[in-house]
Amino acid sequence: MFDLEWTEEAEEIYLLLERNALDIRDKRKKQQKSKSSKQEGLFKQVKKTLQYLRENPRHPGLHTHPYSSLEHPWDPSQKVFEAYVQNNTSAAYRVFWCYGPEKGQITIITITTHP
């Protein structure tokens, strides 16, 4: 199991997604609606993706592969990876990450729509 580290950008995005999902959930419950919103579903998917990354960065559902358009935060010779949050969705979300800075750690670089 890996420990997750966060860039400031990634943490801000995660907290924003969480806050939006919780606000919408609270409004939905007050209106006694049962169907979850897209924002709630997106946050649930992001959370699940991060759990898979912690457990096994090579989990088949993540479709993890190297991504060359982002620079590694500490060592430009090392790889940055892309993991799928969503697939076959317009503007599908991705998590960009790398190993480190210490052994047993994964750093979440950013969470964004597919570039």
Number of domains, the chain: 1
Q: What is the CATH number of the domain that holds 21?
A: 3.30.2310.20
Which pTM value belongs to this model? 0.91
pLDDT tens digits for 5-22? 999 999 999 999 999 999
pLDDT tens digits for 21-44? 999 888 888 888 878 788 889 999
Computed over every residue of the chain, the mean pLDDT equals 92
Instruction: Provide the pLDDT for residue 88.
Output: 82
Mean pLDDT, residues 54-59 taken together: 96
Number of C-beta neighbours around residue 82 at 10 A: 20
Mean pLDDT, residues 93-107 taken together: 95
Domain ranges, residue 42: 3-30+37-113
Burial level of 108, CB count in 10 A (0-12/13-18/19+)? buried
Q: What share of the chain is helix, strand, coil (3-state, %, to 5)?
A: 40, 25, 35
